Each structure stands twice: as C-alpha cells, then as structure tokens.
Amino acid sequence: MRWTKIGKIFDPTEHRLPNNCVQFAQSPQALVFADFVRIYFSTREVDRSNGKYLSHVAFIDVQKDFSRIIRVSERTVIELGKLGCFDEHGIFPMNIVRSESRIYGYTCGWSRRVSVSVETAIGLAISEDDGLTFQRIGDGPVLGASLHEPFLVGDPFVRIQGDLWQMWYIFGTSWERLIPGQPPDRVYKIGYASSRDGIAWQTGEGRQIISDRLKTDESQALPTVIKIGDRWHMYFCYRESSDFRKNPDRGYRLGYAYSDDAKDWTRDDGRAGIDRSLQGWDSEMLCYPHVFACDAQVYMLYNGNEFGRHGFGLAILE
C-alpha cells in the first residue's frame, strides 16, 4: 500500500464549534454525499465542574476535492448521555454507516470511574435527517462489558453487507499500575463481532484478531476496514500502554493487516505505506485512521500529534 499525504485539512482552533468546544478534532469519520463529504469528529469541552474533558461529536462538510470547508456544524449532533449512563462524559468516536434511507451512528460512550479513570461501551444512535442529528435507540449500550471482555469496549467500525452486520472494535484486557505512583494504565485489543440487526451482537468472547507487534502490553485502537477487490485491509493504531502521551517513541503509530476472508488477519505493518512526517503536526504521533472510498479513490483520514489536538489530515491511496 502506498499513501500520499495531502496534509492537514481541518484545524479546530480556526473555527467556531458547538458545545463550547475549542480544541481536538479526533477520530475523523467520513459520510459521502453526492456533492460533498461530511466528516464527523470528536472535539472537547472543558467540564467546568472539575476541569476534565467532555467529548462531543461535530462535523464539517467539505468539497469533494477536499480543498474547501463549506460548512461547520452549528448545533449539537448528538446529546451526551443522561446521569449515570455509559456515555455521560463523552462520545468518542462515532462511526457512521449508511443503510438505505437511514444513517447509523455507532458511538463509543465514556463515563468516569473512581479506581480507574474511565469505562467505555458501544451505543447506537440513528439519524433521520441525513446525519445532522442523531437519536440513540436507548439509554444503554448495544455492546458493553461481558464475561470475557470485561471492560473498555469501544472504537466501533461497522460494515453492513446484506443482512450481515460486521463490527471491528476494541475491548480491554487489563488495567494495571505499570508505572509506580501513576494512575492505572489500560491495555486493549481489537476484536470482531457480527449481528443480523445491528443491535444484538455476537462477539468473539475475548478473541484478539490482530497479533501484537510490541513485546509487552501493546494497546491497539480504532480499527478501520476496507475491501478492495477480493482483499480486506485493516488499518488501526497501536502504542505502548504506559508513557505513551508525551514520549514519541512509545506513542501511537499506524498498523496494518490484511485478510482474504475478513476472519483471519495477517499483520504486516511494513506494508502500511504511511508513517509519521519528519516535522510538523504529525511528526510525533499518527493515530485514529479512517479509510473510505469516494468517487473511485480511496482516502485515509487520520490524526497526528497529541491525539488530534490540532486537527486531522488526509492521505490518498496511490
């Protein structure tokens, strides 16, 4: 695979965003329309009660040549969850899937914990207005912690093929105090689930589908899958599970795997065809990839340094 970077296409600090959001445009996700592309992302508001963040979903509409932003969402795309619900403190990311007249938003909802910082689970919301707003199907998640996937279920990427709904996502395998005196760090892996209705999901019950590359405690996040010809391609990001925020040697970069049956995957990061830049906004970290097709081209949206604090960029598959 060979990608040519077009560069950063959106900087959140240059626009006015809803919900008092000022920085971060994380985990961009595309929805292609006839004459423009809508790109959803998660951005952050500071929670005035304690200084922590709340993640909200927003979008931009861009011209199909990605040269010009023609709209920035003015209103709330999806409300955060109610008191005590799984998505009370943030939605990050929201994966968008079109099916006939409906647009589905699979959310990764965040809620804060006491002994560890956070728990996540996957929710479902539906849009009846071409993706301007989404209403959740219920207050709880469609996929959360279960017997062999005990916490941190999130990062959904859903694909609908006839009556088969496929989901690649992540689940937590451990919370550990990896660095003495620091808060617990988490480890998570990529899994696969399937469904006939998009609501009831059968998971792999803790089966990790992408092998580790790092020697210890590799965390894998945000799988994105595209089928080109007969071959399935997956991009994701991975990192060390501790000291990954500020140490560029341990932070996120992109991984790659391929499959001929969408079940058994061969990891081969050497073929990813995209890496950090030598300098600039994506020189230290590369994360949260989203691969999509638009008018016979394949594109990748991605974040750079600081988990997308400074916006997202675009690359095109040669």
Partner 1 sequence: MFTWRKLGRVFDPRDVKGRPWLREFAQAPATLIFDDHVRVYFSTRPPPNPDGQYVSYSGFVDLNRNDLFDILRVSERPILELGGLGTFDEFGIYPVSVARSGGEVVAYYGGWTRCESVPFNVAIGCAVSRDGGETFERRGPGPVLGYSPDEPFVLSGPKVRRYGDRWRLWYIAGRKWKVVNGRPEPVYKIRMASSEDGVRWERSHRDLIQSRLEADEAQASPDVFAHGGRYHMFFCYRYSAGFRSKERGYRIGYASSEDLERWARDDSKAGIDVSDEGWDSEMISYPHVFELDGQIYLLYLGNGVGREGFGLAVLEGTLR
The residues binding partner 1 (CB under 8 A) are: 82-86, 88-89, 111-116, 119, 121, 123-124, 136-142, 144-152, 172, 174-177, 184, 186, 199, 206
Nearer to partner 1, 186 or 233 (CB): 186
Of 18 and 150, which CB lies nearer to partner 1 in the complex structure?
150
Q: Toward partner 1, which CB reaches closer, 118 or 132?
A: 118
- If one counts every other C-beta atom within 10 angstroms of the C-beta of residue 176, the result is 13
CB of 242 to partner 1, least distance (A): 14
Beta carbons within 8 Å of 124's beta carbon, 6+ residues apart: 104, 105, 106, 107, 136, 137, 142, 198, 199
Question: What does the alpha-carbon distance between residue 269 and residue 256 come to, in Å, rounded to a whole number?
Answer: 5
CB of residue 288 to partner 1, shortest distance in Å: 23
What is the DSSP pairing of strand 201-203 with strand 3-10? Answer: unpaired
Complex with partner 1: residue 153 or 190, whichever CB lies closer: 153
**Cβ at position 125, least distance to partner 1 in Å:** 10
If the CB atoms of residues 103 and 257 are measured against partner 1, the closer one turns out to be 103
Q: How far apart are CA 294 and CA 302, in angstroms?
A: 16
Q: Are 90 and 108 in contact (CB under 8 A)?
A: no
Minimum separation from the CB atom of position 291 to partner 1 (A): 29
Structure tokens at 184: 């617990």
Measured from the CB atom, the residue of 114 and 296 that comes closer to partner 1 is 114
Report in angstroms how near the CB of residue 201 gets to partner 1 at its nearest. Answer: 11
129 C-beta neighbours (distance < 10 Å), count: 9
Parallel/antiparallel/unpaired status of strands 135-136 and 118-127: antiparallel
Smallest gap, in angstroms, from Cβ of residue 112 to partner 1?
4
CA-to-CA separations, 227 to 189, 249, 266, in angstroms, rounded: 22, 31, 15
Q: How far is the CB of 160 from partner 1 (least distance, A)?
A: 19
Residue number, 122 or 291, with CB nearest to partner 1:
122
**Order of strands across the sheet that contains 185-195:** 151-161, 164-176, 185-195, 201-203
R_g of the chain computed on alpha carbons:
18
